[in-house]
Amino acid sequence: MTVTIKDVAKRANVAPSTVSRVIADSPRISEKTKQRVREAMKELGYHPNFIARSLASQMTQVIGIVMPSSADQALQNPFFPEVIRGISKAAHEKRYALQMSIGEKENDIYERVVEMLQGRRVDGVILLYSRQNDKLMKYLLKHGFPFVVIGKPHQKAEQVTHVDNDNVQAGKDAANWLIARGHERIAFVGGNPQYLVTVDRQTGYAAALQEAGLPYRPEYVVHAEFLQEGGQEAMKELLSLPEPPTGLVVADDLMALGILKTLDEMGLGVPEDVSIVSFNNTLLAEMSRPPLTSVDIGIFQLGYEAAKSLIEKITNLNEPIKRIIIPHRLVERGSCARR
Amino acid sequence: MTVTIKDVAKRANVAPSTVSRVIADSPRISEKTKQRVREAMKELGYHPNFIARSLASQMTQVIGIVMPSSADQALQNPFFPEVIRGISKAAHEKRYALQMSIGEKENDIYERVVEMLQGRRVDGVILLYSRQNDKLMKYLLKHGFPFVVIGKPHQKAEQVTHVDNDNVQAGKDAANWLIARGHERIAFVGGNPQYLVTVDRQTGYAAALQEAGLPYRPEYVVHAEFLQEGGQEAMKELLSLPEPPTGLVVADDLMALGILKTLDEMGLGVPEDVSIVSFNNTLLAEMSRPPLTSVDIGIFQLGYEAAKSLIEKITNLNEPIKRIIIPHRLVERGSCARR
DNA sequence: TTGTATGCGTTATCAG
DNA sequence: CTGATAACGCATACAA
């Protein structure tokens, strides 16, 4: 029924191994027989069976994508489709397929990924998150499975190839943008502090304040999970302080969207009353009112480089550990005003 | 190095085939030896090799997800993560893994999916789109590959298992909502008319107008690709008509977000000047200003049922063709006012 | 440059 | 209830 390498071999009057070599485009086969074999393949409608190939070669040509737990609505963040586009591009260039693992709870994810790898379904994985004390990462390191992290690993960063931004600098740039426009009361609204991006950007924010001689006020730092209960309240508190901030550095565009809403409900206008700089420069930044000044972090590239690195690692196990920093740049739109 | 079924067999003093049966939990193995074998598996840290299993059993336990072409920014639509969550849930329940195919151009996608299927990497696929005259769908039908469409197939709908909403009724409901609130000039803003959702919702919209005795005005129907050039202009034209609409039925939340922006630029308020009903009821509907009255179409369920149906089809090739309709319901928020 | 033989880790078909 | 043994479709070391 399904046409195999043997059928092709017969048709072309060669041995199966020859056909195999033609598929691999081995240089040790004469052009003439290559032609003949290829013709036979066409005529029979041959398609190589990846499963069989994988079993024989011990390589699947599949890479696994590990998403953060879907319990939080993180998936709704436009960040993900965009990284995946980047991953997909690089993967396709090297003829790799993509397998995906989504789980509700952290432990779900762990188990599925272990199964993926131990079951030899994938050659390696890309982690689209990086959380504190990650059981999965430890497992991967221990067993020597090829993997790459997007973001900065909490532990053992020197042992883990990762693709990241200079989030400290990015946080600094964002705050400086506001400082340069005369703002002196600048708050930081971050996401889950379990994720290192948040921490890094906050660090940069704090550094910028310090360099500018502005005081760091703890009450100006809020970690609001906007999608959860309580997020709005935290924001409202912040803006109801005796000395409310005039500028906000916000962890990402999706959060900024939520904040715009909260501000609106409080009767505060952007940028007249409050200026905002956010991160990621996704579609949302363009579509929001006002459009958001946002730090572009090269999401597509993050994915692209991660996949490229992973594939290098897979094909060459001695590939050194790498840290790749994707440049960022602030994109000005309408959410910041001079003070 | 890697521990196989044979190692386990030796350890447990049984034949490899017995181990295989234990893995499959065959009833023809005594509980006693099952215990023994399972112990041996634990002790050796055995993990079954899916690739080998796939080759022998001719089943991969993997389903493919086919995304629409990423050339347009469709991927940015929160619809996708949510369907995928649904798919993932059902897949995991039946212990299936997910493989993903993203391509830039339509032809890209076609080729990758053919490769996926012919290469026996997946047992079947779910199409997350349904476009006119789809080459891929024809191919799938012709070759008898198991597949399920989310949305309504343009052609041969009777031959294709699909999971859809009653989009005509949904369109009607949306329009009626506005009509019931006294609106008489209601426009329809759809996405790409190549996609049947758009057409169906428009049909429902038109039917509602007719039933209410309102005139159908062609100039009130706009297909705006917001993310492209020209989208804004089309909207502005619509709203600059001598008799501009007071109500808008908008294809989805993401588009509605863009429209809110355009309206704002034109100095029009929602819902004071223009009322909006949109579709999908994603996170964006909650986060926008004002929050959007939106028709919830059960995105998660669409994915869940699709995956379930596909798996049924894979495991039982005689499974009949099905059409599954996921119920919708309009969720009221703040974007509609009485006239 | 090409062919032969063997193995990849399982499942499945026979026996027993 | 359990054990040999032959596929599954391809890659590769070794021959020729």
**Each residue's pLDDT tens digit in chain A (339 positions)?**
689 999 999 899 999 999 999 998 888 888 888 989 999 999 999 999 999 999 999 999 999 999 988 766 778 889 999 999 999 999 999 999 999 999 888 899 999 999 999 999 999 999 998 888 889 999 999 999 999 999 999 888 899 999 999 999 999 999 999 999 999 999 999 988 888 899 999 999 999 999 999 999 999 999 877 555 566 788 888 999 999 999 999 999 989 998 998 899 899 999 999 999 999 999 999 989 999 999 999 999 999 999 999 999 999 988 999 999 999 999 999 999 998
Q: What is the pLDDT of residue A1?
A: 66
Edge-to-edge strands, sheet with B221-223? B221-223, B186-190, B247-250, B275-279, B293-296, B329-331
Question: Of B50, B79, B101, whose CA–CA distance to B300 is shortest?
Answer: B79
Q: Which nucleotide is nearest to B12 (CA to C1')?
A: D2
Give residue B50's pLDDT.
96
d(C-alpha B151, C-alpha B277), whole Å: 21
Is residue B265 over pLDDT 70?
A: yes
Q: What is the CA radius of gyration of chain B?
A: 25
Model confidence pLDDT, tens digit, residues B137-177: 999 999 999 999 999 998 889 999 999 999 999 999 999 99
Give Cα separations from A20 to A94, A95, B51, B52 (angstroms).
19, 18, 19, 19
Per CB-CB distance under 8 Å, the chain B contacts of A289 are 260-261, 264, 289
Q: Could you check: is the Cβ of residue B35 within 7 Å of any atom of nucleic acid strand C? A: no
Query: Residue B188, Cα to own-chain centre: how many angstroms?
Result: 22
As given in the structure block, the two tokens for residue A288 are 């929001």
Nearest nucleotide over every DNA/RNA strand to the B58 CA, judged by C1': D8
* CA distances for B54 relative to A51, B40, B45, B275, angstroms: 7, 23, 21, 55
Nearest residue, CB atoms, A49 vs list B85, B114, B120? B120
| Tokens describing residue A216 | 């760091």
Residue of A nearest to B74 (CA): A81
Q: Which residues contact A44 (CB under 8 A, 6 or more apart)?
A: A3, A7, A8, A11
pLDDT confidence bin for B104, thresholds 50/70/90: confident
CA distance A162 to A155: 12
DSSP B289: S
Contact flag, residue B315 CB and nucleic strand C, below 7 A: no
pLDDT given for residue A72 in this prediction: 66
Cβ contact A25 with chain D strand, < 7 A: no
Instruction: Give the pLDDT score at B27.
Output: 85
Q: Across the interface, which of A76, A84, A287 has its CB nearest the CB of B78?
A: A76
Strand D reaches within 7 A of the B14 CB = yes
Q: What is the pLDDT of residue A311?
A: 97
Q: How far apart are CA A172 and CA A295, in angstroms?
A: 11
Q: How far is CA B243 from the centre of its chain?
A: 37
Residues A96-150 have pLDDT tens digits of: 999 999 988 889 999 999 999 999 999 999 999 888 888 999 999 999 999 999 9
| Distant-in-sequence, close-in-space partners of B316: CB < 8 Å, separation ≥ 6 | none
> Which member of A51, A70, A254 has the closest CB to residue B51?
A51
Tokens of A40: 């036979």
Q: Is the pLDDT of residue B100 over 90?
A: yes
